[in-house]
Amino acid sequence: MLSKIQSSVILAVTLLAPSVCAAAWDCAILPSERNVEVDPQSGVKVIFVTTHPGSDSNFYFHERCFLWDNRLLLFNSDRFGRSEVMGCLLDTGELVRLTRPGDPTLGSRVASVQGDRLYAVKAGGICEWRLEIGRTSGTAVRVAERRIVDFPAGAQQRSSLDENCDGTLLAFAYLLGEDHFIGFYDLAGGAMRPPAKLGFKPDHLQFHRHRPDVVSMSRTYETGGDWAPLDPPDPYRARVWTLNVQACQPIPAFYQAPGELATHECWWVNDQMTFVGGFHHEGDREEGTVKVLDFKTGEVRIIGPGAWVAGVPGIQLSQANWWHASGSPDGKWVVADNWHGTIALFSARTTQRRILTTGHRVYGSKGLHPHAGWDLKGDYVEFTSNKRGNPDVCLVVIPRDW
């Protein structure tokens, strides 16, 4: 007889059969809202991609938001009364309303590594959007939609949708009954692979940047969150896990010491992963240091020091600590942001810190976090700014002589 696990896997594979339906539409092209400033402290150019009074925000910091040739930046916007995916053509600054009015909203989405297309969760399944960008007589963008796979009946998607580095697989996490799975869709073969059954609730799902067969995820614990408990001490707490798509067995990246923070992990270059860690946490006062985990050696090093000073108020202490971090695709930099909206670079070679720009969030407010990430070449840092009073999408141009 089949075990419960085998039955769940067969059910998931059977129900996740591909289906195809086609639709196409012409996108609305909106004029550029671009506003360029020079940061008074660093002298770098800060480009406000959006200046609309609505809420515009970048994708999460480890999610790919640039098309393969770096000419279209994808972002979220609620300017039409709901959350939609929009684009900005970097050469003209023109904005593109990609979602067709009246269609179901998109869930998780990711720009593809191959061609002018993106993948998105929509109405209980995954769709492929192929974009045609023309300039014959003014800018024109057309979307051709193809539904490629449905979720299992009753499944609830969790965490990100992501495509691997060679464009052969999509990965997504979902809850079915009481079990958590990671599903893998074979883009080349047009079929689902057997899913990986997890023993925990996952988040922050993302493919390795250079190995197409490895994903990572964070484990959601019922107690302690990102911090390993001190009382009682938990020497086996692992926030970050990896999984090979062939073996489908989750493996802890490292165990946190009791009281240690590990959060906001992001794949980088050379089998390295950035994350934020620390050992002090009291209410709104916490330590946030940018660290790099080297999977070849298992070593963890500090690239962006945080700070801990007893008795210093949280609003002041948080100016010297970090919350999200991600490395540039060329391996030269790690960018980090904090609760005050400061964006800083750390040199991969020397760990020297350079402040890029400041003042993009008010500490303690409900303003969105910057979630600083990168374009595909290492030319820009993209983030969300609240500097103008509402969330806007921004780019910082990395000086070539740095």
- pLDDT over 50 at 11, yes or no: no
- End-to-end Cα spacing for the chain: 64
CA angle 18, 164, 64 (to 5 degrees): 105
* Banded pLDDT at 366 (limits 50, 70, 90): confident
Question: Which residues are registered as beta bridge partners of 109?
Answer: 120
Helix (H, G, I), strand (E, B) or coil at 237: strand
Q: 119 pLDDT exceeds 80? A: yes
Over residues 248-294, the pLDDT tens digits come to: 999 999 999 999 999 999 999 999 999 999 999 999 999 999 999 99
- The tokens describing 355, both together, are 């402040």
Could you tell me the domains of the chain?
A: 4-12+23-397 (2.130.10.10)
Q: If 0-12 CB within 10 Å is exposed, 13-18 middle and 19+ buried, where does residue 31 land?
A: exposed
Predicted pLDDT at 377? 96
Distance from C-alpha of 322 to C-alpha of 271, rounded to nearest angstrom: 22
Give pLDDT tens digits for 26-76. 999 999 999 999 999 999 999 999 999 999 999 999 999 999 999 999 999
pLDDT tens-digit map of 196-234: 999 999 999 999 999 999 999 999 998 889 999 999 999
Q: How many CB atoms lie within 10 A of CB 176?
A: 20
Q: What confidence score (pLDDT) does residue 2 get?
A: 39
pLDDT computed for residue 22 by the predictor: 83
Q: How many helices (H) and strands (E) does the chain have?
A: 2, 33
For 354, residues 6+ apart whose C-beta sits below 8 A from its C-beta are: 42, 344, 345, 346, 347, 402
Distance CA 257, CA 234 (A): 8
Burial class (CB in 10 A: 0-12, 13-18, 19+), 213: middle
More confident residue, 137 or 184: 184
